[in-house]
Amino acid sequence: MMNGDKKDTSASASGRERADWTLRQKLGQMVMCGFDGTAPTEGILRLIREYRLGGIIYFRRNIGRAAEVAELSRRLREANDALGGPPLWIAVDQEGGMVARVDREVALAPGNMALGAAGKPELTYEAARISGVELRQMGINLNFAPCVDVNNNPANPVVGVRSFGENPELVASLGAAAARGYQEVGVSACAKHFPGHGDTAADSHHELPLVPHSRERLEQVELPPFRSAILAGVDAIMTAHVRFPACDPGGVPATLSPAILGGLLRKELGYKGVIVTDCLEMNAISQTVGVGRGAVLAVAAGADMVLVSHREDRQVEALEALYTAVESGELPMARIDEAVGRILRAKIWREEVWRQTEAAGVRLVGDEASCRWVEETAERCVTLVRAEPGALPLRADAPTLVVWPEVRRSTEVDEVIPQELTLGWALAPYVADVCEMVIGTEPTAAEQAAVLAAARGGRLQIVAGVYNAAFALGQASLVQALAALPGATVTAVALRNPYDLLAMPQVHAYAACYENRPPMLLAAAKVLAGRVPPQGRLPVSLSAEYPAGWGMDSLQ
């Protein structure tokens, strides 16, 4: 938490610094932008140079090897420091698990729902601390994590396993632990998406979702994790492009709502840190009020920093729109100074925390001890939901058919990368003869026919990985067809969405892994082979038979 004499000194220093700043220098601190490539582009350098840009956001398009990321950060910081201004925020969405922009040469921690299945705040804290140290060594000092949305809608297309679960108390506890873990090693944490994106059935990347619940319900479900994060001293909170009529009857999305940002978050919840918007290029904003107007309305509502992740023309549009709004009197100068002051206090204090952490000695990126911790923690997350007698453990001497759903379609949240390490790779040490067949997450008729032919060929011990099969019924129908084969034993392994069981209730065994990252695949293989006991508990309810908190303790 930012407190004590050092915080006060930093605050006064930041005030003296900006006394001589121009309006454009102040507004530049309030905008964060992205760019293409693993080297600084002339466009992003120009924004730093001419607009005194306050922050950069990395996506997978910017990520190479760890040393290359560190070099990219160094060059960006060098360009910023040459101007004599405050530190540059370099941000990333490193939530863990399925949403991790940096996933090579690091100790990639389990994602939120996997950690929710483990249910231990101390594990979530340590996952964030390890990740924070690695991010800082690569020059990244702001993480847009943790996601503290309460996922109680199985149809949610954008949050899902990014949530710790459906229980507000669990989400609040683990979210606060994650914020502390990041910030205690000098990385600003950002709780998102305020006031809650968990109970939507629409994706704000594409449209403007609605949460229709009463204020009483929001107090019970959506708001407790944010209250907990505020008490933990979280440096930043990200807004949701979602409508909450109970808070703003006019239907204005939270990002643009004075009632939600200035009223609910600032006045009622007492939040004093940085409010940052989700990306204004998402359709919920860009295709309604537009990016430039959205930036002005967001700042007027109470946002301190606006995020424009992709197009340079839209980034300039936002910067110029803010300038025009101040010059015309629409945005008061006091609102700008207030926002810049919050941003500088967070930046300067975290730099001091990192200097202290670094001086005390820290582990290297992807060091052996951290990777071992991740592997052991993954074993505590795998949840065995059902297993008929005799279905598990897998027979070591039986030929095994493994179905691997290859993710081929990119989304805004999860940038798809080629994955050489598969479920078959993880199971190979434990069964005698593995035949792995690759299908798409939307399997073709030919792919389904080939898998069924292989199963009929005598491979009747079947392990079927499923990936969001509740939204891709081709996968579900294939697994059901496999389970119907005479003599077949089918174990389904949910590689993302635990709700997939509802689309294939006939399977003989079902394990939830919450992600398809290598440490979790290794952990799942050990559980299915009987090498380690299942320990995870469902952080969400699948049905009355399998409620939140359910999980088998053994294979029998």
pLDDT of residue 268: 96
Are 341 and 11 a contacting pair, CB within 8 Å? yes
pLDDT confidence of residue 17: 52
pLDDT in tens, 189-230: 999 999 987 666 545 555 467 788 888 989 999 999 999 999
Q: What is the SS3 string spanning 257-288?
A: CHHHHHHHHHHHCCCCCEEEEEECCCHHHHCC
Token digits of residue 365: 């990126």
50-68 pLDDT tens trace: 999 999 999 999 999 999 9
The predicted structure's pLDDT at residue 517: 94
Catalytic residue set? 205, 278
What structural domains does the chain harbor?
Answer: 4-14+29-360 (3.20.20.300), 378-528 (3.40.50.1700)
For range 532-553, the mean pLDDT: 96
Q: With CA atoms as reference, report the closest residue to 441 among 417, 414, 467.
A: 467
* pLDDT at res. 11: 41
- Beta pairing, strands 274-279 & 305-308: parallel
Q: Which residue has the higher pLDDT, 452 or 157?
A: 452
**Residues forming beta bridges with residue 191, ordered by sequence position:** 237
Q: What's the average model confidence in pLDDT over 80-95?
A: 94
Residue 365: pLDDT above 90? no
Residues 438 and 404: beta-carbon distance below 8 Å: yes
Q: Residues 3-21: pLDDT tens digits? A: 333 343 344 444 445 667 8
- 317-363 tens-digit pLDDT: 999 999 999 999 999 999 999 999 999 999 999 999 988 888 777 76
Name every residue whose Cβ is closer than 8 Å to that of residue 325 and which is 6 or more positions away in sequence: 296, 299, 300, 331
Both tokens assigned to 389: 């007698």
SS (H, E, C) 385-429: EEECCCCCCCCCCCEEEEEEEECCCCCCCCCCCCCCCCHHHHHCC
As a whole number, mean pLDDT of residues 392-416 equals: 84
Give the three-class secondary structure for 43.
helix
Q: Is pLDDT above 80 for 269?
A: yes
Q: Which pLDDT band holds residue 2 (cuts at 50, 70, 90)? A: very low
* Whole-number pLDDT of residue 12: 42
Q: What is the pLDDT of residues 491-523, one digit of tens each?
A: 999 999 999 999 999 999 999 999 999 999 999
| Average pLDDT of the segment spanning 538-553 | 96
**What does the pLDDT look like over 136-179, one tens digit per residue?**
999 999 999 999 999 887 876 568 899 999 999 999 999 999 99
Secondary structure in 3-state letters for 473-519: HHHHHHHHHHHCCCCCEEEEEECCCHHHHHHCCCCCEEEECCCCCHH
pLDDT score for 459: 78
Q: Are 27 and 319 in contact (CB under 8 A)?
A: yes
Q: How far is CA 144 from CA 241, 448, 545, in A?
A: 16, 39, 35
User: In sequence order, what are the residues at sequence separation of 6 or more whose Cβ sits closer than 8 angstroms to the Cβ of residue 262?
Assistant: 301, 302
DSSP 87: P
Residue with tokens 């530049």, as numbered in its chain = 28
pLDDT of residue 244: 87
Higher-pLDDT residue of 373 and 472 is 373
383-394 tens-digit pLDDT = 999 999 999 999
Task: Confirm if 118 and 75 have CB atoms less than 8 A apart.
Answer: no
